[in-house]
Amino acid sequence: MEFIRIFFLFSFFTLTLSQSSIYDEMFHPADEYSFPQLPGYDYHELGPYIDQRTLTVHHKKHHQGYTVKMNQALKDWRKQEPQNDLARSSIINILQNLERVPDKWRTTLQNNAGGYVNHIYYWVTMCPKPGDIPKALLKKIEASFPAGMSEFKNSFTTASLSLFGSGYVWLVTDDEGSISIISTKNQ
């Protein structure tokens, strides 16, 4: 869950993370997290880049499954350790402190809460009608990739095609504001 420790820059597209309530929920404690709906678009609307069947599988199978299993693990943990403050905190805080999660629930939460959170990032960083890339992001890309956007796109594509099995490729920034492309396996 390395990505949790670094601030996610922002989307390529115009839909900013802060505009989406499904993004906000994971930062707040909840007795049970809801299965998020797609943020303002339907399964068929990201074509021809992502087809309806692919989006449906990721949402209705993957994301829903992760949500159910994450909620069950949280419920069990909180019931067995009612005084544990970490258990009662937000799912993002729990993922940021996985080493403090008891062995009994750690892997289950890493896999399922990781899948829950990563799919939210997936949904909120896409939209059917992309606008201009924010100037601040363009500047950062040009600073990190001397050949500009084409170099960035090639690097991102290469990283994506090099990822074997399941996982994610992220555009991230560090505390100094430098951006980079990283890959994480599985959840």
Residues in the chain: 187
Q: Least separation, in Å, of the C-beta of 44 and Fe ion?
A: 17
| Beta bridge partners of residue 179, listed in sequence order | 173
Q: How buried is 119 (Cβ within 10 angstroms: 0-12 exposed, 13-18 middle, 19+ buried)?
A: buried
Judge whether 45 and 128 are in contact, CB under 8 Å: yes
Q: Least separation, in Å, of the C-beta of 15 and Fe ion?
A: 19
**Which residue's beta carbon is nearest to the bound Fe ion?**
62
Three-class DSSP category at 175 = coil
Taking the least distance from each CB to Fe ion, the nearer of 10 and 123 is: 123
Rounded to whole angstroms, the Cα distance separating 140 from 160 reads 20
Taking the least distance from each CB to Fe ion, the nearer of 62 and 69 is: 62
Taking the least distance from each CB to Fe ion, the nearer of 59 and 140 is: 59
Taking the least distance from each CB to Fe ion, the nearer of 100 and 185 is: 185
Per-residue contact flags (x/-) with Fe ion for residues 59 to 98, judged by CB under 5 A = ---x------------------------------------
6, 41, 45, 58: which one contacts Fe ion (CB under 5 A)? 58
Q: Least separation, in Å, of the C-beta of 35 and Fe ion?
A: 13
Q: Least separation, in Å, of the C-beta of 157 and Fe ion?
A: 19
Judge whether 121 and 106 are in contact, CB under 8 Å: no
Q: Least separation, in Å, of the C-beta of 30 and Fe ion?
A: 22
Contact range with Fe ion by CB under 5 A, out of 53-61, 79-87, 88-96, 132-140: 53-61
- Phi then psi for residue 168, to 5 deg, are -135, 150
- Taking the CA of residue 168 as centre, how many other CA atoms within 13 Å lie in the half-sphere pointing to its CB? 19
Q: Report DSSP state, residue 134.
A: P
Q: Which residue has the tokens 């099995």?
A: 165
Q: Binding residues for Fe ion, how many (CB under 5 A)?
A: 2
Judge whether 88 and 80 are in contact, CB under 8 Å: no
Q: Least separation, in Å, of the C-beta of 67 and Fe ion?
A: 12
Applying CB under 5 A, the residues found at the interface with Fe ion are: 58, 62
